[in-house]
Structure 1
Amino acid sequence: MADFKIILSEPETGRSYKVDATGPAAGALIGKRIGDEIDGGILGFAGYTIQITGGTDKTGIPARRDLPGPARRRLLLSEGVGFHATMDGERRRKSVRGSEISADFVQINAAVKQSGAKPLAEYFSQPEAAAE
């Protein structure tokens, strides 16, 4: 089974959190596409709606939203995800991955679209160490 690191950003506060998805949570993400909205309950965030915004595979190759399927391809790019031109008119052939999440992904970027009753900061707060 695949394991994912999910970088969950909260636009309201500007903070981002790292969530490890293993087992059924990771299995629920396979086959989803960039731009899809998922229920936060899958990851343990009841009442939240989360949108997938991007990701990278095990070699660091980014996923593009406009490329269908999960496969890796070499495209001639002039702008966008995977290439940023340094000169006007510059183009390069770069490896990019399709928008469908597969087991080859390692990191998935996501953003909160609708918040739940409990703030995200409470899910990630460290428990205070007991004073001895």
Structure 2
Amino acid sequence: MPEFKVVVADPEKARSYQVDVKGEDAEKLIGKRIGDVIDGEIVGLPGYKLKITGGTDKDGFPMRPDIHGPVRVRPLLSGPPGFRPERKGERRRKTVRGNTISEDIVQVNTVIVKYGDKPVEELLGEGGEEE
């Protein structure tokens, strides 16, 4: 059974919330890609819509939206995510993960794009972290 830590960013309050997702709800995330909009019911936010913005795998490698599939590759990068150049024009070969969620992914980053009836603090608790 897959298990994910879903980080939900609330742009209105400038806070983020971490939710552990297991079982059937976690299986609904497998196969989704960066940029897909999912139902907030998966993380306990009924009426909300969440957009997947990225994530990391079990070894800490970040997901990139321009690499297709659930693969781990070593492309030549010139910018984030996965590499932040120190000099202008610098490029480097770094290991990154593709844009599709698989069982190797541990953390999934999301942002709220449509709000529900109840506030986020009431549904997920006051455990928000400052961004």
Contact 2:21–2:42 at 8 Å: present in 1 too? no
Name the counterpart of 1:114. Answer: 114
Residues 33-82 of structure 1 show CA distances to partners (whole Å, capped at 9, x for unaligned) of 00000011122211000000000000100000111000000011111210
Name the counterpart of 1:6. Answer: 6
Contact 2:48–2:112 at 8 Å: present in 1 too? yes
Name the counterpart of 2:67. Answer: 67
Query: Matched residues in 2 for 1:105 and 1:17: separation?
Result: 18
The Cα RMSD (Å) is 0.9
Name the counterpart of 2:129. Answer: none
Query: Matched residues in 1 for 2:40 and 2:124: separation?
Result: 15
Q: In structure 2, the residue corresponding to 1:90 is in which secondary structure?
A: coil
Q: In structure 1, the residue corresponding to 2:42 is in which secondary structure?
A: helix
The aligned amino acid for 1:118 is K
So what's the TM-score if we normalise by structure 2?
0.93
Q: In structure 1, the residue corresponding to 2:66 is in which secondary structure?
A: coil
Gaps of 5+ in 2: 127-131
Q: In structure 2, the residue corresponding to 1:42 is in which secondary structure?
A: helix
- Write out the 4+ residue segments of structure 1 that deviate beyond 3 Å after TM superposition: none
Percent same amino acid at aligned positions? Answer: 52
Matches within 5 A, 1:77-96: 77-96=77-96
Name the counterpart of 1:33. Answer: 33
* Closer/same/farther in 2, CA of residues 44 and 125 from structure 1, 3 Å limit: closer
Name the counterpart of 1:129. Answer: none
Query: Matched residues in 1 for 2:124 and 2:104: separation?
Result: 27
Gaps of 5+ in 1: 127-132
Q: In structure 2, the residue corresponding to 1:53 is in which secondary structure?
A: strand
Please state how far the C-alpha of 1:24 moved relative to its aligned partner: 0.7
Q: In structure 1, the residue corresponding to 2:75 is in which secondary structure?
A: strand
Q: How many residues align?
A: 126
